Amino acid sequence: MSCAPPSSETPITSPVPAAVETVTKPALIGKNLEELTALMADLGEKPFRAKQLFQWLYVKSARKFEDMTDLAKPFRQKLADNFTVGPLTMVERQVSADGTRKYLFKTPTGQTIESVLMYFEDRDTYSICISSQVGCAVDCKFCATGKLGFKQNLTVADITDQYLAVQADAGKDIRNIVMMGQGEPMLNYDNVIAAIRLLNTAAEVGIRHITLSTSGIVPKIDALAKEGMQLVLAVSLHAPDDETRNKIMPINTKYPVAELMRSIKDYIGTTGRRVTIEYVMLKGINDSQWHAEKLAELLRGVKVNINLIPYNPIGDSYGFERPSNNTIMRFMETVMASGKKVTVRVERGSDIAAACGQLANQYIEKTSA
């Protein structure tokens, strides 16, 4: 598959021509090899059929049974009569001026979710941002997804199929996965962990190229430490003190900063893995020199990298603004002086509401207008 970056173009919206229908047949994507073997036995097929399917589904990203050319035609028909390839129906795609693609999917329950495909020249590779829930219950005040409220958890199949469907549609070899889309992954823990294992072992995405992001669900961070997974844990801190964090992240009233930091340190101690601290910068709220010094003090001696994320607007009515570049640079320099590696996230896809914090199924508004 090609690894050339998408060409820069005016943002476009492309409705997917196929009819959008709620999937009723069970999907094969989401099943591991053992489960596929059992399904094939139920159809009266031999175990090697499961291995063939496994390759077509997860390595070759086939989207139609008819494309599985080394399977006998009667067998392909039997599969089509009983199953679908994946559970998701692609409704629409948008392409940003910077080449970022945002996809709208419909789930078997009729809900909608979004996924984002990104290219970064400094890495010469593609990354996908995947959703774990429909909506979100955490309600971070600067995030559009939280305004949707929580609707349901996505299944293992729903999560896995986002990666496979986007890879097939875009024709790109996607080697990095970030669980930073819609929803709080740790509140759908079992399905997210199972999907990550499947993407790692079946789709052959390196575990160290998979990032799991959380707003700070302490019991689940503790549980993740025991999973033995060498993935990247990213924690959305966004403020170094309880007073500020309470205002913008209601979850802090349940898991305050001190408890969250205890969990992060325990996770690092157990896994030996460096944690990424995410910090959305909000003008006049968490971007002062005091906040920078407090953050540096809080993370002193802790094995973390820090990723500063300039606020991406989600609407004037929410009252947040992006800090000036000078403020961001001054904040970064203060934290870096403590010896920490600090980066500023490159904004991707903001013109199609695909940047961090902007996912809110805006396609629905545009296509129904």
Residue 356: per-residue pLDDT: 55
253 and 121 in a common domain: yes
100 and 48 in a common domain: no
Q: Are 293 and 254 in contact (CB under 8 A)?
A: no
Three-class SS state of 338 = coil
193 and 114 in a common domain: yes
Catalytic residue among 34, 45, 114, 293: 114
SS3 content of the chain, % helix, strand, coil (to 5): 40, 20, 40
Q: How many domains does the chain have?
A: 2
Residue 347: per-residue pLDDT: 65
d(CA 292, CA 312): 20
What integer best gives the mean pLDDT of the chain?
87
Report the Cα 85 to chain-centroid distance in Å: 22
**pLDDT-derived band of residue 348, with 50, 70 and 90 as boundaries?**
low
**pLDDT-derived band of residue 272, with 50, 70 and 90 as boundaries?**
very high
Catalytic residue among 129, 140, 143, 356: 356
Q: If you ran DSSP here, which 8-state letter would residue 138 be given?
A: S
| CATH number reported for the structural domain that contains residue 57 in this entry | 1.10.150.530
Average confidence (pLDDT) over 178-201: 96
The one-letter amino acid code at 202 reads A
94 and 47 in a common domain: no
Residue 280: per-residue pLDDT: 94
Q: Are 341 and 306 in contact (CB under 8 A)?
A: yes
What's the number of CA atoms in the CB half-sphere (13 Å) around residue 12? 8
Nearest by Cα to 106 from 368, 344, 363, 302: 363
Range of the domain at 77: 33-82
Residue 35: per-residue pLDDT: 96
- To the query of whether residue 114 is one of the catalytic residues in this protein, the response is yes
Q: Are 50 and 44 in contact (CB under 8 A)?
A: no
Residue 149: per-residue pLDDT: 84
305 and 174 in a common domain: yes
254 and 190 in a common domain: yes
- To the query of whether residue 45 is one of the catalytic residues in this protein, the response is no
Residue 366 has pLDDT above 90, yes or no: no
**pLDDT-derived band of residue 345, with 50, 70 and 90 as boundaries?**
confident
Task: Give pLDDT tens digits for 208-232.
Answer: 999 999 999 999 999 999 999 999 9
The one-letter amino acid code at 251 reads I
Give the pTM. Answer: 0.88
d(CA 241, CA 112): 35
Instruction: Average the pLDDT over each of 9-18, 239-248, 256-265, 292-301 and give the range with the smallest value.
Output: 9-18
d(CA 135, CA 117): 19
Instruction: Average the pLDDT over each of 9-18, 21-30, 58-67 and give the range with the smallest value.
Output: 9-18
Residue 14, CA distances (Å) to 11, 104, 325 in order = 10, 10, 34
| CATH number reported for the structural domain that contains residue 153 in this entry | 3.20.20.70
Output the 3-class SS for 247-285.
Answer: HHCHHHHCCCHHHHHHHHHHHHHHHCCCEEEEEEECCCC
177 domain residue, yes or no: yes
348 and 295 in a common domain: yes
**Secondary element (H or E) of residue 179:** strand 174-179
Task: Give pLDDT tens digits for 277-306.
Answer: 999 999 999 999 999 999 999 999 999 999
Of 95 and 20, the one with more pLDDT? 95
**Secondary element (H or E) of residue 175:** strand 174-179
Q: Which of 19, 53, 82 is the last residue of a domain?
A: 82
Three-class SS state of 12 = strand
Contacts 24+ apart (CB under 8 A), 14-19: 14/92, 14/93, 14/94, 14/95, 15/91, 15/92, 15/367, 16/90, 16/91, 16/92, 16/93, 18/89, 18/90
Nearest by Cα to 116 from 366, 367, 361: 361
How many CB atoms sit inside 10 A of residue 109's CB?
14
